Amino acid sequence: MIMNSAALPLFDHGAELICGVDEAGRGPLAGPVFAAAVILDPAHPIIGLRDSKKLSEARRDALALEIKAHALAWSIAESSHEEIDAINILQASMLAMKRAVEGLSIVPTLALIDGNRCPVMAVRSEAIVGGDDKVDAISAASILAKTARDAALMVLHAQYPLYGFDRHKGYPTALHLERLQLHGVTPIHRRSYAPVRRILLAGKS
Protein backbone atom coordinates (compact mmCIF):
# COMPACT_ATOMS: atom_id res chain seq x y z
CA MET A 1 0.00 0.00 0.00
CA ILE A 2 1.25 3.50 -0.85
CA MET A 3 -0.43 6.77 0.14
CA ASN A 4 0.29 10.08 -1.46
CA SER A 5 4.33 16.42 0.61
CA ALA A 6 13.99 21.73 3.97
CA ALA A 7 15.55 22.86 6.45
CA LEU A 8 18.79 20.97 7.17
CA PRO A 9 20.20 22.40 10.37
CA LEU A 10 23.29 20.19 10.47
CA PHE A 11 23.73 19.09 6.85
CA ASP A 12 24.21 21.35 3.83
CA HIS A 13 23.49 19.65 0.52
CA GLY A 14 23.44 22.76 -1.65
CA ALA A 15 20.88 22.79 -4.44
CA GLU A 16 19.84 19.14 -4.04
CA LEU A 17 16.12 18.35 -4.02
CA ILE A 18 16.08 16.33 -0.82
CA CYS A 19 13.59 13.90 0.59
CA GLY A 20 13.80 12.60 4.13
CA VAL A 21 13.03 8.92 4.72
CA ASP A 22 12.29 6.98 7.88
CA GLU A 23 10.46 3.84 9.00
CA ALA A 24 8.28 2.85 11.93
CA GLY A 25 7.50 -0.55 13.34
CA ARG A 26 10.60 -2.73 13.19
CA GLY A 27 10.23 -3.94 16.77
CA PRO A 28 6.56 -4.95 17.03
CA LEU A 29 5.42 -8.56 16.91
CA ALA A 30 2.51 -7.90 14.57
CA GLY A 31 1.42 -5.91 11.55
CA PRO A 32 3.34 -4.19 8.76
CA VAL A 33 6.42 -2.02 8.94
CA PHE A 34 5.74 1.47 7.58
CA ALA A 35 8.00 4.02 5.91
CA ALA A 36 7.53 7.57 4.71
CA ALA A 37 9.36 9.95 2.40
CA VAL A 38 8.91 13.72 2.60
CA ILE A 39 10.12 16.66 0.51
CA LEU A 40 9.62 19.78 2.61
CA ASP A 41 8.84 23.21 1.16
CA PRO A 42 11.39 25.82 2.33
CA ALA A 43 8.70 28.48 1.73
CA HIS A 44 6.45 26.79 4.32
CA PRO A 45 8.63 25.84 7.32
CA ILE A 46 7.02 23.55 9.88
CA ILE A 47 7.85 24.36 13.48
CA GLY A 48 8.49 21.61 15.99
CA LEU A 49 9.70 18.78 13.76
CA ARG A 50 11.73 16.16 15.61
CA ASP A 51 12.00 12.42 16.15
CA SER A 52 8.40 11.16 16.38
CA LYS A 53 9.24 9.07 19.45
CA LYS A 54 9.97 12.29 21.36
CA LEU A 55 6.56 13.82 20.60
CA SER A 56 3.21 13.22 22.25
CA GLU A 57 0.56 11.43 20.22
CA ALA A 58 -1.48 14.63 19.95
CA ARG A 59 1.54 16.61 18.74
CA ARG A 60 2.46 13.92 16.20
CA ASP A 61 -1.08 13.91 14.82
CA ALA A 62 -1.13 17.71 14.51
CA LEU A 63 2.27 17.80 12.81
CA ALA A 64 1.28 15.00 10.42
CA LEU A 65 -1.64 17.12 9.19
CA GLU A 66 0.66 20.11 8.77
CA ILE A 67 3.26 18.07 6.88
CA LYS A 68 0.64 16.70 4.49
CA ALA A 69 -0.76 20.20 3.92
CA HIS A 70 2.51 22.07 3.34
CA ALA A 71 5.20 19.66 2.11
CA LEU A 72 6.06 19.70 -1.58
CA ALA A 73 5.52 15.93 -1.71
CA TRP A 74 4.99 13.06 0.71
CA SER A 75 4.45 9.33 0.45
CA ILE A 76 3.75 6.53 2.92
CA ALA A 77 4.35 2.86 2.13
CA GLU A 78 4.55 -0.43 3.98
CA SER A 79 5.86 -3.97 3.92
CA SER A 80 3.44 -6.60 5.17
CA HIS A 81 3.97 -9.05 8.01
CA GLU A 82 4.19 -11.78 5.36
CA GLU A 83 7.04 -9.94 3.65
CA ILE A 84 8.76 -9.44 7.01
CA ASP A 85 8.63 -13.18 7.66
CA ALA A 86 9.81 -14.00 4.14
CA ILE A 87 12.77 -11.62 3.79
CA ASN A 88 13.45 -10.48 7.41
CA ILE A 89 12.63 -7.15 9.05
CA LEU A 90 15.74 -5.31 7.82
CA GLN A 91 15.05 -6.09 4.17
CA ALA A 92 11.33 -5.42 4.62
CA SER A 93 12.14 -2.02 6.12
CA MET A 94 14.43 -1.24 3.18
CA LEU A 95 11.65 -2.31 0.80
CA ALA A 96 9.10 -0.06 2.51
CA MET A 97 11.48 2.91 2.32
CA LYS A 98 12.15 2.24 -1.36
CA ARG A 99 8.41 2.10 -2.01
CA ALA A 100 7.90 5.37 -0.14
CA VAL A 101 10.54 7.19 -2.20
CA GLU A 102 9.18 5.74 -5.43
CA GLY A 103 5.69 6.88 -4.42
CA LEU A 104 6.63 10.56 -4.28
CA SER A 105 4.92 12.79 -6.84
CA ILE A 106 8.23 14.68 -7.27
CA VAL A 107 11.47 12.82 -7.95
CA PRO A 108 14.17 13.95 -5.49
CA THR A 109 17.85 14.12 -6.36
CA LEU A 110 18.92 12.83 -2.95
CA ALA A 111 17.24 10.73 -0.28
CA LEU A 112 18.44 11.17 3.29
CA ILE A 113 17.78 7.95 5.20
CA ASP A 114 17.55 7.65 8.97
CA GLY A 115 19.98 5.02 10.19
CA ASN A 116 23.24 3.48 9.02
CA ARG A 117 22.24 1.92 5.70
CA CYS A 118 20.23 2.78 2.61
CA PRO A 119 17.79 0.84 0.42
CA VAL A 120 18.88 0.03 -3.10
CA MET A 121 16.97 2.37 -5.41
CA ALA A 122 17.39 4.66 -8.39
CA VAL A 123 17.59 7.84 -6.29
CA ARG A 124 20.97 8.59 -4.70
CA SER A 125 20.85 8.15 -0.96
CA GLU A 126 22.81 8.96 2.17
CA ALA A 127 22.38 7.35 5.58
CA ILE A 128 22.40 9.60 8.65
CA VAL A 129 22.51 7.99 12.08
CA GLY A 130 20.02 9.76 14.34
CA GLY A 131 18.74 11.66 11.34
CA ASP A 132 15.19 11.73 12.64
CA ASP A 133 16.33 14.26 15.25
CA LYS A 134 18.87 16.10 13.08
CA VAL A 135 17.26 16.65 9.67
CA ASP A 136 13.80 18.20 9.43
CA ALA A 137 12.78 16.21 6.36
CA ILE A 138 13.66 12.94 8.10
CA SER A 139 11.80 14.09 11.23
CA ALA A 140 8.76 14.74 9.05
CA ALA A 141 9.05 11.27 7.52
CA SER A 142 9.37 9.78 11.01
CA ILE A 143 6.13 11.49 12.04
CA LEU A 144 4.19 10.33 8.97
CA ALA A 145 5.41 6.75 9.28
CA LYS A 146 4.62 6.60 12.99
CA THR A 147 1.13 8.11 12.72
CA ALA A 148 0.25 5.91 9.75
CA ARG A 149 1.36 2.79 11.58
CA ASP A 150 -0.51 3.76 14.75
CA ALA A 151 -3.68 4.26 12.70
CA ALA A 152 -3.21 0.84 11.08
CA LEU A 153 -2.83 -0.78 14.51
CA MET A 154 -6.12 0.75 15.61
CA VAL A 155 -7.72 -1.04 12.67
CA LEU A 156 -6.09 -4.28 13.80
CA HIS A 157 -7.39 -3.63 17.30
CA ALA A 158 -10.93 -3.52 15.92
CA GLN A 159 -10.31 -6.88 14.23
CA TYR A 160 -8.56 -8.50 17.21
CA PRO A 161 -9.85 -6.65 20.31
CA LEU A 162 -8.58 -9.28 22.77
CA TYR A 163 -4.93 -8.43 22.13
CA GLY A 164 -4.79 -4.78 23.22
CA PHE A 165 -3.27 -3.38 20.02
CA ASP A 166 -4.74 0.02 20.89
CA ARG A 167 -2.46 0.10 23.93
CA HIS A 168 0.83 -1.52 22.92
CA LYS A 169 0.67 -1.02 19.12
CA GLY A 170 2.10 -4.49 18.59
CA TYR A 171 5.26 -4.04 20.64
CA PRO A 172 6.32 -6.94 22.91
CA THR A 173 4.99 -5.48 26.16
CA ALA A 174 4.00 -7.60 29.13
CA LEU A 175 0.36 -7.11 28.16
CA HIS A 176 0.91 -8.22 24.58
CA LEU A 177 2.89 -11.30 25.62
CA GLU A 178 0.23 -12.18 28.18
CA ARG A 179 -2.54 -11.93 25.56
CA LEU A 180 -0.51 -14.02 23.12
CA GLN A 181 -0.11 -16.74 25.72
CA LEU A 182 -3.81 -16.59 26.53
CA HIS A 183 -5.33 -16.34 23.06
CA GLY A 184 -2.65 -17.64 20.70
CA VAL A 185 -1.16 -16.20 17.52
CA THR A 186 -3.33 -14.22 15.08
CA PRO A 187 -2.92 -14.22 11.29
CA ILE A 188 -1.26 -10.78 11.47
CA HIS A 189 1.53 -11.73 13.90
CA ARG A 190 5.11 -11.96 12.63
CA ARG A 191 5.90 -15.66 12.84
CA SER A 192 9.64 -15.17 12.42
CA TYR A 193 9.87 -13.21 15.69
CA ALA A 194 11.06 -15.29 18.64
CA PRO A 195 8.17 -14.63 21.10
CA VAL A 196 5.62 -15.53 18.42
CA ARG A 197 7.62 -18.54 17.23
CA ARG A 198 7.82 -19.90 20.77
CA ILE A 199 4.06 -19.79 21.15
CA LEU A 200 3.57 -21.47 17.79
CA LEU A 201 5.98 -24.22 18.81
CA ALA A 202 3.92 -24.67 21.95
CA GLY A 203 0.92 -25.37 19.73
CA LYS A 204 -1.01 -22.10 20.22
CA SER A 205 -2.09 -20.68 16.86
Residues whose CB is less than 8 angstroms from the CB of residue 24 and which lie 6 or more positions away in sequence, other chains included: 33, 34, 35, 36, 52, 142, 145, 146, 148, 149
Strand extents, DSSP E, 53-204:
73-79, 110-114, 125-128
Residues 6+ apart with CB under 8 A from 58: none
Annotated binding site for a divalent metal cation: which residue ranges?
22-23, 114
Amino acid at the residue 165: F
Please give the Cα distance from 85 to 189 (Å, whole number).
10
Residues annotated in a binding site: 22-23, 114
How many angstroms separate the Cα of 165 from the Cα of each of 30, 95, 107, 158? 9, 24, 36, 9
DSSP-assigned beta bridge partners for residue 74: 38
